[in-house]
Structure 1
Amino acid sequence: MSLSIIGLDQKKSETIAKDLNELLANYQIFYMNVRGYHWNIKGEKFFELHLKFEELYNDLLLKVDEVAERILTLGYQPEHAYSVYTQHSEITEKLNITDGKQAVGDIVASLALLIKKQRAILSLAADAEDEGSSSLMSDYIKEQEKLIWMYSAFLA
């Protein structure tokens, strides 16, 4: 078994980095979708949703950077081209959405998909004794489970 400079199995780290790159692609597409919701939202809940979407995209931008830096920490290169993101993201681009309920529904679905991917990475990271990736995924999951509850309450 070959260990990296940070003491992790390189083969396992490579798998984690690959999955983190797929997660990064999903985060980037989700980020742009939320920017679009923020810019294009209309209707009676405009002011409330405009602010909530801004909070969310600011948080997503931080997560994009953290995921990319984790990939680098593991010794691999984060993808940085949107052409790659659109090929690897399960979250699809959403265009010209102005309806608040539709936007929030898309956000809930995207968060659920991210949680699923992060749980898979969490499992891989635990097996690799990769505390850094485990901690990151665990923090994201906890936060996003609460967001799903809150956005779902809005939809009810």
Structure 2
Amino acid sequence: MSTASDLTKRIDNFDQFLDERMPVLYEFAQSLRLPAPHAILTDPMSVLSGISAWLALQHIEQEDRAWVLSRVGYYIGELLVTHYSGAWLVCTAPASRFYGRYVVGQFRDFDNAESLADPFEAAAVCIDEPPGRSLENIINGIVASLRAA
């Protein structure tokens, strides 16, 4: 994100982004045949091991990357928002490396209320690892960074 008009577009599309996340996550949970697909929305931490186990086995082809990335990104964000009392937002701080991105922040459970995480950047790191990857390790790393910020 480099221009004010790009940021304006991201802000204008933010409500649509938020509206899409719940049905996308629910459909993702159903496609993984999670025992309680609604838990991905109400208690994302409870399905972390199942999603991590599924991801560990995947050979993600380039044509599937966007599909997996969007779902894992939404999932990471919802887990952080739900479990650590945060919120989705658009980063509007020009000096931030997250400028113009959809991020999670405003965490009540971390000392630094200004700390941010980009769930889609974390999802990209995770899915670009070879099979055997661990979503649990990625999330633990994010949480450790947020605690240290």
TM-score (norm 2): 0.29
Give the structure with the higher percent helix.
1
Is the strand fraction higher in 1 or 2? 2
Which structure has more relative contact order (CA 8 Å, sep 6+)? It is 1
TM-score, normalization: structure 1? 0.28
